[in-house]
Structures are given as C-alpha cells and as structure tokens.
C-alpha cells in the first residue's frame, strides 16, 4: 500500500460514516483508534447493528460511506448494482453455542449433548431475526445441518420454532444470558462456548459442499422479491458506497483494515484474516489494494 506523507495524513478531515454488523464493533473500535491516530482531523460516525437491517437502511438512503457485514453476500444481494460496484472479503469466523454460568444445565452441556439440552422444556434458546441479522438465518442453517449430521428427525423444526417465539434484541440480552444462542466464536460477549463440529459450524471451506445443503429465504428490498441465503463459510466483507461523501477518508480506512496493521487488529479481535478477495466490478475501486 502506498504510504501517505505526513502532510497528506494530517490533511484528511471531515465526517466518515461507517455502518457495520454489531459483532464487528470491537474490531472496528480498534481500527478507528488506529485510524484516528493517523488521521486525527477525521470525525468517525460508527453505527452498529444487524447486517441485513443495515443494508436495508443504506438502500433506503441512510447516510453511509463504508458498509461492513459478517456476511459479505449482503453486499451483492442488497447493494450491488444500485449503490456500489464491488466488495472485498477480508476475514472469517465460525459459529459456536454460547451460554453463561446462568444458563440452565451450564455444568452439563458439552459437545455431545448440546442439541438434547436445547430441546428441554425449561431451557430457553434465542436467535435474532433473520430479516435483520445474518446470525438469525445462520442459526437456522446450523440447525438444518445439525439435524442431518446427528440424524435427529425434526430437530430443525423444533428448535427453529423454539428460538423464533421471541427474537433476540437488546431488550432481552439479560434473558439470553440465562439460556443459549448460537454466536460467532469471536464475539462471545463474556459468555462461554460449546464447540460445534466443522461439518455444521460454517467455519471452513473444507465442508463448503455440505454447508450448501442449508438455506434460508428472506425478503429482498422490493415487495414480493425474495433472496435465498445459501449456507457457506462465514466470510466478512465490506464496500465503499458509490455516493460516499468522504472518498479519501473511506479509501484510507479500507486501506488500513487491509494492511499489516489491520491484519494484526483483526487477529486480536479473534477473527481469521483472509487474503483479500475482491468481487463485483472491482475495476471501479478508488484505491490501490495493499500488498499483504
């Protein structure tokens, strides 16, 4: 990546609005800290939330310069070609079963009985709304894969119904901590984790063909248009919006996250850095990709 001169570094200023998945908040906070060390005159507006909901808000005209999601496919599915031309995949993570010491049977749950414990009547199991958040539809994907992997007929239907009675939101975080939910292994928020088999945890390309046996349909941007979210390895991506109001600052932020310093921050946040994979019409890139 070409190095900016000190005068160029200090010259960057203005407002930079970044909308990102809530689970990327710790990583983005550290990227912001390093970015502001380099570019102290830039004002960062950091907005976290469900990746799908964020994409819908961007499509509806909400202010956004950079959009980042734990599911890169939200970009081609919701933002290309009307709002951006390209995306870059830069990291990955996987799914685990999250619980706390307050969860029922916390002293019993393990890798061999978690699916049995989740089905118990006195156990609560949470997921976010698939229409708002990739973790919501990925939970359903993992349950589909688990039913086949463990050979338990009806497991998906029972646990999908149980976790869909009341979707997880900030109002129910305390209640969530008394039960269980699938979570990204890099975003446990003080909880504990039961590892899931690679065959179902959406963490590796080695089982990509198996993951594709799962899928969830959600609403597209237009009424009556559905989007099929197909199971695949969890890969994190971002883009700069075409109507970006601070192009130079956005370019610099993306260059930072793709740089060696950015890779170190990604690792520190518990995610797996990937060699950048560009998709869409990347001839429209307004910056020079870094060599990592």
Asked whether residue 289 is assigned to any structural domain, the reply reads no
Output the pLDDT for position 7: 43
Q: ω into residue 220 within 30 of 0, thus cis?
A: no
137 and 242 assigned to the same domain:
no
Q: pLDDT above 90 covers what percent of the chain?
A: 84
Asked whether residue 292 is assigned to any structural domain, the reply reads no
Asked whether residue 63 is assigned to any structural domain, the reply reads yes
What's the sign of the alpha-carbon dihedral 172, 177, 178, 182? positive
Answer yes or no: are the C-beta atoms of 2 and 288 closer than 8 Å.
yes
182 and 109 assigned to the same domain:
yes
- What CATH number does residue 16 fall under? 3.40.190.10
Q: Check pLDDT > 70 for residue 145.
A: yes
Output the pLDDT for position 9: 55
Q: Average per-residue pLDDT in the chain?
A: 92
25 and 112 assigned to the same domain:
no
82 and 122 assigned to the same domain:
no
pTM (two decimals) = 0.92
Last residue of some domain: 170, 186, 217? 217
Answer yes or no: are the C-beta atoms of 161 and 208 closer than 8 Å.
no
Q: How confident is the model at residue 27 (pLDDT cuts 50, 70, 90)?
A: very high
Asked whether residue 228 is assigned to any structural domain, the reply reads no
Looking up tokens 């198996």 gives 210
268 and 184 assigned to the same domain:
no
Q: How confident is the model at residue 169 (pLDDT cuts 50, 70, 90)?
A: low
Q: What's the rounded mean pLDDT across residues 60-64?
A: 96
Last residue of some domain: 174, 189, 217? 217
> Residue 45 pairs with which residues in a beta bridge?
17
Q: What's the rounded mean pLDDT across residues 27-45?
A: 97
19 and 124 assigned to the same domain:
no
SS (H, E, C) 183-195: EECCCCCCCEEEC
89 and 102 assigned to the same domain:
no
Distance CA 168, CA 172 (A): 6
Asked whether residue 48 is assigned to any structural domain, the reply reads yes
146 and 68 assigned to the same domain:
no
Q: Could you read off the pLDDT of 197-237 as tens digits, one per residue?
A: 999 999 999 999 999 999 999 999 988 899 999 999 999 99
23 and 62 assigned to the same domain:
yes
148 and 99 assigned to the same domain:
yes
Output the pLDDT for position 224: 87
125 and 208 assigned to the same domain:
yes
Asked whether residue 224 is assigned to any structural domain, the reply reads no
Range of the domain at 153: 95-217
Answer yes or no: are the C-beta atoms of 202 and 138 closer than 8 Å.
yes
25 and 39 assigned to the same domain:
yes
Question: How many domains does the chain divide into?
Answer: 2
Output the pLDDT for position 4: 47
Q: How confident is the model at residue 172 (pLDDT cuts 50, 70, 90)?
A: low
């Amino acid at each position: 990546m070409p190095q900016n001169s000190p005068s160029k570094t200090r010259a960057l200023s203005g407002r930079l609005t970044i909308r990102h998945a809530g689970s990327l908040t710790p990583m983005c906070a550290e990227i912001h800290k390093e970015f502001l060390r380099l570019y102290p005159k830039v004002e960062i507006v950091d907005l976290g939330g469900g990746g799908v909901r964020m994409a819908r808000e961007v499509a509806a005209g909400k202010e956004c310069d950079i959009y980042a999601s734990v599911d890169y496919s939200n970009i081609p599915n919701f933002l290309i070609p009307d709002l951006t031309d390209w995306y870059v995949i830069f990291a990955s993570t996987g799914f685990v079963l999250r619980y706390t010491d307050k969860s029922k049977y916390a002293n019993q749950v393990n890798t061999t009985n978690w699916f049995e414990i989740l089905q118990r009547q006195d156990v609560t199991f949470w997921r976010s709304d698939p229409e708002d958040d990739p973790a919501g539809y990925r939970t359903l994907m993992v349950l589909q894969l688990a039913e086949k992997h463990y050979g338990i007929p009806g497991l998906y239907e029972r646990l999908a119904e149980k976790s869909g009675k009341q979707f997880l939101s900030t109002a129910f975080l305390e209640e969530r901590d008394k039960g269980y939910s699938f979570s990204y292994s890099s975003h446990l928020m003080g909880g504990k984790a039961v590892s899931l088999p690679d065959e179902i945890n959406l963490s590796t390309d080695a089982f990509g063909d198996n993951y594709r046996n799962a899928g969830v349909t959600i609403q597209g941007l237009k009424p009556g248009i559905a989007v099929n979210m197909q199971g695949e390895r969890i890969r994190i991506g971002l883009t700069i919006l075409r109507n970006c109001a601070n192009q130079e600052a956005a370019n610099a932020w993306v260059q930072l996250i793709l740089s060696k310093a950015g890779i170190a921050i990604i690792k520190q946040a518990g995610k797996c850095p990937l060699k950048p994979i560009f998709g869409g019409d990347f001839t429209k890139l307004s910056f020079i990709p870094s060599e990592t």
